[in-house]
Structures are given as C-alpha cells and as structure tokens.
Amino acid sequence: MKILVIGSGGREHALVWKLAQSPRVTKLFCAPGNAGISQHATCVPIAADDLPGLQKFAVSERIDLTVVGPEVPLALGIADLFRKNKLKVFGPTKNAARIESSKAFAKDLMLRQKIPTAASRTFEQASAAIHYLETQPVPIVVKADGLAQGKGVVVAQSHEEAREAVLNMLEQHAFGAAGQRVIIEECIQGEEVTLMAFADGKTVKPMLAAQDHKRIGAGDTGPNTGGMGAYAPAPLATPALRYTLMREVLYPAIEGLARVGSPFFGVIYAGVMVRDGVPYVLEFNARFGDPETQVVLPLLKTDLVDVLEAVVEHRLDQLDIEWSEDAAVCVVMSSGGYPGKYSTGVPISGIPDIGSSDSSMVFHAGTAWNGEQIVTSGGRVLGVTAVSPNLAKAKSQAYESLEGIRFDGQYYRNDIANRVL
C-alpha cells in the first residue's frame, strides 16, 4: 500500500514510524513532514491545510490510504473532499469533526447524550457572558468555541481574570472567528486522563489511556502548552474507569453523532478530568493526541495499517487490537521561550536515528534540514520516548536518552510521569 500521512509534528513522526514497520506498506509519504520524518517517508512540501494540493498529490501518486494528523485539515473538510474523489482517508468528516472544532457543538452533544461534563453556558455577547460569570464561583473556565491550538482556554482564578478573558475573545477578537462564541464552564479540580479510541461509525475500540502534561513548568506550573510530555498506560484509568468511559462517554458520543447524520470515522479523543473517581469530559478531539500518540503507538502490537483499514472499511468489530504490557514515557524538548516567543533555525546535535525495534526513539516535532544540519523549526522540537517493562524504568530511560541531545535554549520538564511514580 502507498500511504500518505498529513502533518509535521511529533504525532505524525510517531504515525510514520509505526506505519513504516508494517509489511503491508510499500511507499510512505508525509506532507509536509519534518527532518525526522524524512528518515522513514518521502516528505512532500504541501501544507497540511492545502486541501486541493493534497488531493492532487493523492490522485497523481495513487495513494491507497491518507492518514490525517492535525485538526485543521479535518475541520476544513479534507475527509469529505477525499471521499468525494474516491480516495480512502482516515479521519472524520467536517461535520463529525465539530466535536473538536466547536466546543459549543460538543457541549450540546454531551448534554443530549447525557455524557458527564462540567456545567457550562455559551455566549456571543460579552455583557451577557460577564453578567453570568459574576454569578458563578471562582475559579471558572473561559473557552473560545473554535480551534485555537490549545491556547483558547483560560482557567481564571478571579472574576477579574475571567472578565478579561471574555473581553479578549469577544471584543478584542484575540482568536478571530474561533472566539466569536465563548463557553463559560465550571472548574473541575482533579486528575486529567486521555482516552483515545478508534471508531468506524458504529464500533469503538479504545487505546491505552495516557496522561499529558500541558503546563510548561515542573509541578504543573505556568502557561498551557501543546503538551510537554506524556506517559501510558495511565494507572488512573483503572479497568472500571475505562469501562465507564466507554459506556458513558465514547459510545454515547459516537451514537449521538450518527443520530445527527454525522457518523464518526477515525480517532475520537476524550480529555477527561477525574474528581473523586468520577469522570467529566473537558474536551473531545477528532484525531490522535500530541504527545499522547508518541507513548500510545509504541505500545500497539497489531499492525497499524490493519487497524486504520478496518476503520475506513467499517469492520472494526471484526478486529482484535492487541497492546503490549510495557509502559512508555515521552519527554518533550522545547525551544527556550516557548509557549511565548522563541527563535528557530538553532542547530541540534546528538539526535540518534530510530530503528524499528529500538526501545528509545526520538520523535521530531519542530525540526528541519538546513543543508546537512538539523535545526529547530518550532516551539516543541523533539519528543524522546522510551518503552520499558514499567513506568519508572521508562522514565529513567527517556531522561537518559535525551542527555546527549543539545541545542541552544533547550528546555524540558524534569518531572514527566512523577504523578504516578
């Protein structure tokens, strides 16, 4: 099979790395890819949101399956466009992807399907939003409705801060169209867990649960980022909790989408807060998580091509998906200054190549070639994953592996997986 992966981050590197191990794959492409991805796939310089360009490429190369990494092309309707042109694509339609691209849509779905989530209200007028939030206790959460690269959520500690967030979104248009509606939500204090699942419109098969580390600073301090590290499996997701999440969250979501004529094919991602053992959904995503994918896929034993194909061909019920008993930890190395301003083009030394059977792998997130030299090209630069029989070993191995890697301004959290160790 000829496979095209769309995207250029650590998640896409993990996808490409895993697909490259499949005996069924004869040729792998990635658009646009990055320096690390070019080790396993031919990178083609087409942007992830250039839908006509991607379609043209898939047709001319006779791509058998396209796997969409990021949310933006899904929200733009890449799956609809590809299907219309008889191209097989792994990822939900634009309408189904609204579970991620509109938090108000996701909230309505959850309400209709009785999916446990934080109480919330949606507003388009700043005055009404502010009036409402002043009747609510703090901390309180203000969210932009649309896609904002994980930066559209403010957990406000005071009414003042919440008011500012509302004005910033609705009046200053800080997130453009994505912030034309805001959701004001009850703050739930607890432990977060990610459960991703494959879904083919009817059947849902869960992956291993993972935990992301969203804040920039050790001890979960400082601003939110795209994710500074992850581990899997997350012991917080006991078999009982996983069962509850399947029965009360993932199946109702998939059924609710099918009922409104938007069946969901792809990966459904539930970001959940667990308080006193009870789960509340904070967000749905319509794709693989980043950096969760960098710890979950290395633990997948079944051929990923078989899984993706079963989803696309709506026969997931006939497939058993097998997982390793090991644990994985991923530590993200970022550019100094991230998630604020940072420089790019900084030379990186000491990155080992990944072999398919290695137990440590360096997934590239924001890297590019500058001649013969690999340089930084983004805020999150590398994700160093280690797989080991237990989490403690995986953690120490991940930190050992990143010791040889150097670039000016490099930063990483030193406490990934500490919450369970």
- Name the binder of 153 from ligand GLY, ligand AMP, none, CB < 5-8 A by kind: ligand AMP
Please give the Cα distance from 183 to 145 (Å, whole number).
Answer: 6
Please give the Cα distance from 194 to 164 (Å, whole number).
Answer: 29
**Residue of minimal Cβ distance to ligand GLY:** 289
Q: Which of 72, 75, 79, 188 binds ligand AMP (CB under 6 A)?
A: 188
Q: Which of 212, 251, 361, 417 binds ligand GLY (CB under 6 A)?
A: 212
Asked if residue 227 binds ligand GLY (CB under 6 A), the reply is: yes
Strand, helix or coil for residue 161 = helix
User: Binding residues for ligand GLY, how many (CB under 6 A)?
Assistant: 7
Asked if residue 290 binds ligand GLY (CB under 6 A), the reply is: yes
Asked if residue 7 binds ligand GLY (CB under 6 A), the reply is: no
- SS3 of the chain: helix, strand, coil, percent, to 5: 30, 30, 40
Closest contact distance (angstroms) between CB of 211 and ligand GLY is 10
Reply yes or no: is the peptide bond before residue 137 cis, omega within 30 of 0: no
- Name the binder of 192 from ligand AMP, ligand GLY, none, CB < 5-8 A by kind: ligand AMP
Q: Which of 12, 200, 283, 290 binds ligand AMP (CB under 6 A)?
A: 283
Nearer to ligand GLY, 9 or 309 (CB): 9
Q: What is the DSSP string of 235-259?
A: TTS-HHHHHHHIIIIIHHHHHHHHH
**211: exposed, middle or buried (C-beta count within 10 Å: 0-12, 13-18, 19+)?**
buried
- Name the binder of 187 from ligand AMP, ligand GLY, none, CB < 5-8 A by kind: ligand AMP
Residue partners of 418: CB distance under 8 A and separation at least 6: none
Q: Which of 289, 298, 339, 366 binds ligand GLY (CB under 6 A)?
A: 289
> Footprint of ligand GLY on residues 248-287 (CB under 6 A)?
285
Q: Cβ(10)–Cβ(291) under 8 Å?
A: yes
Asked if residue 145 binds ligand AMP (CB under 6 A), the reply is: no
Handedness of CA 395, 398, 404, 407 (dihedral sign): negative
**Residue of minimal Cβ distance to ligand AMP:** 283
**87: exposed, middle or buried (C-beta count within 10 Å: 0-12, 13-18, 19+)?**
buried
Asked if residue 107 binds ligand AMP (CB under 6 A), the reply is: no
> Footprint of ligand GLY on residues 341-400 (CB under 6 A)?
none
Asked if residue 150 binds ligand AMP (CB under 6 A), the reply is: yes
- Looking at residue 139, what DSSP letter applies? S
Residue partners of 184: CB distance under 8 A and separation at least 6: 120, 121, 122, 123, 129, 132, 133, 136, 140, 141, 142, 143, 162, 166
Q: How far is CA 411 from CA 7, 228, 277, 289, 369, in A?
A: 24, 10, 34, 21, 21
Asked if residue 153 binds ligand AMP (CB under 6 A), the reply is: yes
- Name the binder of 81 from ligand AMP, ligand GLY, none, CB < 5-8 A by kind: none
Using CB under 6 A as the criterion, which residues of the chain lie in contact with ligand GLY when the complex forms?
A: 150, 212, 227, 285, 289-290, 292
Per CB under 6 A, residues contacting ligand AMP are: 118, 141, 143, 150, 153, 155, 185-188, 192, 214, 224, 271, 273, 282-283
